């Protein structure tokens, strides 16, 4: 599952890079290249589409990243070797003593 989401993130990142290159920060970009407003719904609709596509791709990356993080197994803190041994000894001391077997072997 995480491999699939990683591929989605990579594809979205590449598309986001291309969409950002299409935009022009001063209001030009791809939408200004279309001469007449009749093409592709005009300049305003092209800008809206590029803007929505940018936010959608960014949202996809964020959402997939959060899902991947939630799917990762939790890591238990490492216990130093001496402490682990002490905990095992304490558990053994706290455990009830085994009962002797009343049956005699044949």
pLDDT tens-place string over residues 3-39: 999 999 999 999 999 998 888 666 555 555 554 444 5
pTM exceeding 0.95 = no
> CB within 8 A of 15, min separation 6: which ones?
57
Report the chain's mean pLDDT, rounded to a whole number: 76
Distance CA 34, CA 13 (A): 26
In whole angstroms, what is the distance from residue 93 CA to residue 96 CA?
8
List, in order, residues 6 or more apart from 76 with CB less than 8 Å away.
Answer: none
What digits encode the pLDDT tens for the residues 66-80? 999 999 887 877 666
SS3 percent helix, strand, coil of the chain, rounded to 5, is 70, 0, 30
Q: For the chain, what's the residue count?
A: 106
Identify the band that residue 40 occupies on the pLDDT scale cut at 50, 70 and 90: very low
């Amino acid at each position: 599952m995480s491999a699939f989401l990683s591929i989605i993130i990579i594809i979205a990142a590449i598309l986001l890079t291309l969409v950002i290159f299409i935009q022009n920060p001063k209001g030009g970009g791809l939408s200004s290249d279309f001469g007449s407003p009749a093409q592709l719904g005009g300049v305003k609709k092209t800008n809206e589409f590029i803007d929505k596509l940018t936010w959608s791709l960014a949202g996809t990356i964020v959402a997939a990243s959060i899902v991947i993080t939630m799917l990762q197994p939790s890591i238990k803190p490492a216990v130093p070797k001496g402490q682990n041994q002490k905990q095992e000894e304490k558990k053994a001391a706290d455990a009830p003593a085994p009962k002797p077997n009343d049956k005699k072997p044949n």
